[in-house]
Amino acid sequence: MPIKSYLVHPHLGRKEELVTEISGIQECSVIPAKNEDILVVVTETNNKEEEDILQRKLESIDSLNLLAMVSGFNTPKEH
Amino acid sequence: MYTSITNRRSFIKKMAMLSAMTAASTMFPGILFAEEQERGLPKGSSLNWKKAPCRFCGVGCGVLIGIEKGKAVAVKGDPESTVNKGLCCVKGYHSVIAMYGKDRLTKPLVKKSGKYVETSMKEALDLIASKMKETIKDYGKDSVSIYGSGQWTIPDGYVASKLFKGCIGTNNVEANARLCMATAVTGFLTSFGLDEPMGCYEDIDHANIFVLWGNNMAEMHPVLFSRMLDQRLTRGAKIIDFATRTTRTSVAADKSILFLPQTDLAVGNAICYEIIKNGWVHTSFVEKYCNFSKGLTNMGYGLEDNYKFKDKPEKIDFETYKEFLNDYTPEKVEKMSGVSAKDIKYMAAYYGDPNKKVMSFWCMGPNQHSRGTWMNNIIYNIHLLTGKISTPGNSPFSLTGQPSACGTVREVGTLTHKLPHGVVMNKKDREFAAKIWEVPVENIDPKPTYHTVEMFRALDRGDIRFMWIQVTNPMVTMPKLKRYRDGANKKGRFIVVSDIYQTPTTDIADVILPSAMWVEREGMYGNSERRTQYFEQMVDPPGEAMSDTWQLIEVAKRMGFEKQFYYQEETHIEEIYKEYRKHHVGKKHNMAPLEVLKKQPGAMWPYVDGKSTKWRFNSKYDPACTNGEDFHFYGKPDGKAVIWQRPYEPAAESPDNQYPYWLCTGRVIEHWHTGSMTRRIPVLHKAMPHSYVELNPGDAKRMQIRTGDKVKLTTRRGEIILPAAVNQRGVPAPMQVFVPFFDENILINEITLDSFCPISKEPDYKKCAVKVEKA
């Protein structure tokens, strides 16, 4: 059950749009920086396949400029 | 302890998020995640936000602390603070967590038959007072000492100085700022006659060029670095990183220039040579406001006990100084420093350009330097030659690393030679202090005793028998540590340690006193820009923990000094500050009244006619200027600053065949100094769990060392094994290694050298010779 965190850089002037887009994805928690054009995104998926799909989904967002992974954890599946 | 999977997942999510936030904060110092901050608060909370200066570094950021149900639960940057303008670094953001470590000291501990036994505060204080009296009776007044720090609040340091210097009559008062800021003090005193920067942080908003002299600001002073990055973005200001290793600061700078250790002296002189050669000297400024002097050379390095040095300044003229600089042409200096003549000329051109405003920043690089006072002088020389000083944006600026290194150690004067106003050697200064302290003037000894390294040597020798250590961790920070730890553990020594957690220093204690931390008591700090900031008591300290101020007052009363320590428990901070202000009355150093400090995020001294002074020595801004000219360096009798002729001299120990590498030590962004607080903040500890040795990738490849491999470092003092870091956060130059000192389990100071600057007596933690092997 992968949990990953990313630093996400929006295209210039599109931070709010990016926050809205990512907030709409169930597997993502978004924490936008207050004073910089950057977001912290934490993802939680059930398996590697879902994680890959999610990553592709994120990368296809128009307002997203760069997705940089910071940490990744794999935890036992919840019962 | 059992942790459910759900809890564990939630914890891991939180860790993942905090890792990302920590990474972001190193890329964008001062970054704020307000939403997350609010999300972390208890549900339905109604926080009471109160202002305080941050507990950690010397920048002195204003923070707002969220209090709920008697507990500090959140921190955010204070938007009203002109220091940080609402920003907060990763340490400041998590600072309140350091108050709530599970192993917080709550009861006094007394060592009995080799074991620590809990006792009451009354009994512990009785024991300390009786032991001090007994030691003085048996060995004399100079056998007792106090060692404090730049984390002492102003009242802590003030009562310590009053008790030891004024009442007991010994100058055995030192503070850990001797290990980090003493050189800045002697730099200021020799060049200007008065301590502390002439400018302020507002200079950042005016400067076109920032030159960082051996100063990794992205990690050590992230909020100020963030302000510089902002100026680059909005005004096109440039940042030049001049250092011995590539760091996050180098990467973020417009230009990174590397020099070989100790050769900054030569490069600084080469810049002065270029300024003169190219006619960039501000002639009228130099003629009107500067003198030229030289001092003694080949001073030694203080490696032997009882080492003494006194400089003999001698006036010289401009032509003599100019001739001296002929040894420092960029081409000659290139060969010794590794800095190309082109890069030296590049830096000199910015300093020399009359249309560019330049700020020089430095901290431990030029200060922890065996010729540190000289290095500080040379940076001032550059600014004085070009007249780029004491005006908005033109500012040589020495930074500090502790919240009150300036406020308490430098201004209160908790060093052996100092008084709150002036020095013990001066009769008038002694009389002035004695009058305020209500003690006979004969009580104040006119002779300084021991600076920090010598104080610990005296403890080892047995000249000092009693030492009280408050709010510092010398058994991690002293260079050549083993000698001083063994000395402290010798029979017939009595050590008291006041702290909030057990540390390697409490291990040498006979009595451990639990201290109140930060906003668990009332106090003031003084930051790097002469700003004094007040904080109220916001929460109760745990158990019997007590402020360092009140611990000292209780012992002073027990020793018979009730008259001098008349303070009431409820009002003592106000009473002490009111008394302390008397020492600084006058336009040169007046401190703001407490009512002002309570209302606003601090005030900068000299505080005159209800106003802070932003630029000293400039008659437009500084009411203490009285010579009728534009500038008045009134710290010197003739009102002139000094341009010093200071040569290059090698370090105390340089690499050789047996120990072929340079060893440099320092800090990391996650941890504050010895880590006793930040290692108890889970997110910071997880982000940086242990120390390491950074190697140059070429050296590592040659020795077949990869990140994580064990590496053995050996110096003439001993050896240590620690994991390697190759191409990680910082990258040393070839044949150099870097080790941070925050980790008490990997004590790098076991192998460092206790050489120091002969003028400031500050150790050089940045340079000794080391052998590097794969373990």
Residue B11's pLDDT band (cuts 50, 70, 90) = low
Which of A1-5, B14-18, B281-285, B549-553 bottoms out in mean pLDDT, i.e. has the lowest?
Answer: B14-18
User: Are B17 and A5 within 8 A, CB to CB?
Assistant: yes
Measured between CB atoms, does B7 come within 8 Å of chain A?
no
In single-letter form, the type of residue at position B491 comes to: K
Could you tell me if residue B689 is inside a domain?
yes
Task: Indicate if B402 belongs to the active site.
Answer: yes
Q: What is the mean pLDDT of residues B258-286?
A: 98
Chain B residues closer than 8 Å to A35 by CB:
30-32, 86-87
Amino acid B346: pLDDT: 98
Task: Give yes or no for B20 touching A (CB within 8 A).
Answer: yes
* Assigned domain for B612 exists: no
Q: Do A29 and B23 touch (CB under 8 A)?
A: no
Query: Given B399, B416, B451, which residue is the final one in a domain?
Result: B399
CA distance A49 to chain B (A): 19
Tell if the CB–CB gap between B35 and A31 is shorter than 8 Å: yes
Measure CB to CB from residue B20 to each of A1, A71, A78 and give the nearest one: A71
Binary contact (B19, A5; C-beta < 8 A): yes
Query: Which of B141-145, B562-566, B683-687, B710-714 is predicted with the least confidence, judged by mean pLDDT?
Result: B683-687
CATH number at residue B725: 2.40.40.20
Q: Is some CB atom of chain A closer than 8 A to the CB atom of B8?
A: yes
B728 part of the active site = no
Estimate to the nearest angstrom the gap between the alpha carbon of B636 and the chain centroid: 25
Search chain B and give the residue with CA nearest A3: B13
Q: Minimal Cα distance from B30: which residue of A?
A: A35
Look at residue B646 in the predicted model and tell me its pLDDT: 98
List the structure tokens of B599. Answer: 């209302």
Residue B669 tokens, joined: 């962004």
Whole-angstrom distance, CA of residue B720 vs CA of residue B715: 9
What pLDDT, on the 0 to 100 scale, is given for residue B315?
98
Mutate which of B3, B22, B35 to test chain A, going by most A C-beta atoms within 10 A? B35
Q: Which pLDDT score is estimated for B351?
A: 98
Q: How close does chain B come to A21, measured CA to CA in Å? A: 17
Using the 3D structure, point to which of B371, B399, B427 is the last residue of a domain. B399
Structural contact between residues B653 and B767, judged by C-beta atoms closer than 8 angstroms: yes
What's residue B33's pLDDT?
72
Distances (CA, A) of B369 to B196, B279, B366, B432, B479: 19, 31, 6, 34, 13
Q: Which residues of A touch B33 (CB under 8 A)?
A: 31-34, 40
Task: Clarify whether residues B469 and B492 are in a common domain.
Answer: yes
Q: Looking at the structure, tell me whether residues B395 and B340 fall in a common domain.
A: yes
Average pLDDT over residues B10-26: 70
Active-site residue flag, B664: no
CATH number, position B126: 3.40.50.740
Residue B4: its pLDDT value, please? Answer: 46
The answer to the question of residue B644 being in a domain is: no
* pLDDT on residue B706: 97
Q: Are residues B366 and B305 part of one domain? A: yes
Q: Would you say B488 and B337 are in contact if contact means Cβ atoms under 8 Å apart?
A: no
**Are B448 and B546 within one domain?**
yes
Determine the residue of chain B that is closest to A77 in CA distance. Answer: B5
List of chain A residues whose C-beta atoms are within 8 Å of the C-beta of residue B227: none
Cα B743 from chain centre: 18
Whose tokens are 């997110």? That residue is B683
B357 plus B263 within the same structural domain:
yes
For range B137-155, the mean pLDDT:
98
Q: Is B27 on the interface with A (CB under 8 A)?
A: yes
Instruction: Find, in chain B, the residue whose alpha carbon is nearest to that of A72.
Output: B16
- pTM attached to this predicted model: 0.88
Strand B466-470 vs strand B144-148: parallel, antiparallel, or unpaired? parallel
* pLDDT at residue A3 in the model: 83
Closest by Cα among B423, B408, B660, B424 to B528:
B408
- Selecting from A42, A72, A76 the residue whose C-beta is nearest the C-beta of B17 gives A42
At residue B660, does pLDDT exceed 90?
yes
Residue B510 domain boundaries:
109-180+406-566
List of chain A residues whose C-beta atoms are within 8 Å of the C-beta of residue B8: 75
Q: Is residue B751 part of a domain?
A: yes
Q: How many CB pairs under 8 A join A and B?
A: 82
Q: Cα separation of B556 and B167, whole Å?
A: 9
Domain presence at residue B650: no
Q: Is residue A26 predicted with pLDDT exceeding 80?
A: yes
Chain A positions touching B20 (Cβ under 8 A) are 5-7, 40-42, 70-71
Nearest CB partner across the interface for B24, out of A33, A42, A76: A33
Whether B646 is in a domain gets the answer no
Does residue B401 have an active-site annotation?
Answer: yes
Q: Has B364 been annotated as catalytic?
A: yes
- Within 8 A of B16 by CB-CB distance, chain A residues are 3-5, 42, 70-73
Q: Which helix (H) or strand (E) holds B284?
A: helix B283-289
B314 vs B645: CA distance, rounded Å: 10
Residue B304 forms part of a structural domain: yes
* Average pLDDT rounded to a whole number, residues B4-16: 64
- Same structural domain, B86 and B115: no
**pLDDT digit string, tens, across residues B495-550:** 999 999 999 999 999 999 999 999 999 999 999 999 999 999 999 999 999 999 99
Q: How far is B4 from chain A (nearest CA, A)?
A: 10
Provide the sign of the torsion angle of the four alpha carbons B185, B190, B194, B197, taken in this order.
negative
What residues form DSSP beta bridges with B773?
B712
For residue B1, pLDDT beyond 50:
no
Distance between B78 CA and the closest CA of chain A, angstroms = 14
Q: How far is B251 from chain A (nearest CA, A)?
A: 18
Whether residue B206 sits in one domain with residue B223: yes
Residues of A in contact with B27 (CB under 8 A): 7, 38
- Summarize pLDDT for B731-758 with one digit per residue, the tens: 999 999 999 999 999 999 999 999 999 9
CB atoms near residue B447 (< 10 Å): 10
A32, A40, A78: residue with CB nearest B20: A40
B33 close contact with A: CB closer than 8 A: yes
| CA B136 from centroid of its chain's CA atoms | 32
Closest Cα in chain A, distance from residue B276 (Å): 43
Active-site residue identified among B402, B470, B551, B736: B402
Same domain, B172 and B198: no
Q: How many domains does chain B have?
A: 4
- Contact list, A44 vs chain B (CB under 8 Å): 9, 13
Same domain, B330 and B444: no
Judgement on whether residues B254 and B379 belong to the same structural domain of the protein? yes
> DSSP code of B411?
I
Chain-chain contact of B31 with A36 (C-beta, under 8 angstroms): yes
Per-residue pLDDT reduced to its tens digit, B431-466:
999 999 999 999 999 999 999 999 999 999 999 999
CATH number at residue B69: 3.30.200.210
Tell me how crowded residue B233 is: count the other CB atoms within 10 A of its CB. 9
Query: How does residue B47 score in pLDDT terms, banded at 50, 70 and 90?
Result: confident
Q: What is the torsional sign of CA A25, A31, A34, A35?
A: negative
Do residues B363 and B434 share a domain?
no
Which of B63, B80, B100 terminates a domain? The answer is B100
Identify which of A29, A31, A71 has the shortest CB distance to residue B19: A71
Closest to A42 (Cβ–Cβ): which among B6, B16, B30? Answer: B16
CATH number at residue B272: 3.40.228.10
What average pLDDT score do residues B234-253 get?
95
Instruction: With CA atoms as reference, report the closest residue to B409 among B303, B239, B528.
Output: B528
Question: Which one, of A74, A58, A78, lies nearest residue A8 by Cα?
Answer: A58
Q: B2: Cβ–Cβ under 8 A, 6 or more apart, which residues?
A: none
Q: Are residues B438 and B345 in the same domain?
A: no
Q: Is residue B576, in this structure, part of any structural domain at all? A: no
| Interface residue ranges in chain A relative to chain B, Cβ cutoff 8 Å | 1, 3-7, 29, 31-36, 38, 40-42, 44, 70-73, 75-76, 78-79
Q: What is the edge-to-edge ordering of all strands in the sheet holding B494-499?
A: B115-118, B109-112, B511-514, B494-499, B466-470, B144-148, B173-175
Return the pLDDT at A1: 72
Q: What is the ipTM of this complex?
A: 0.89
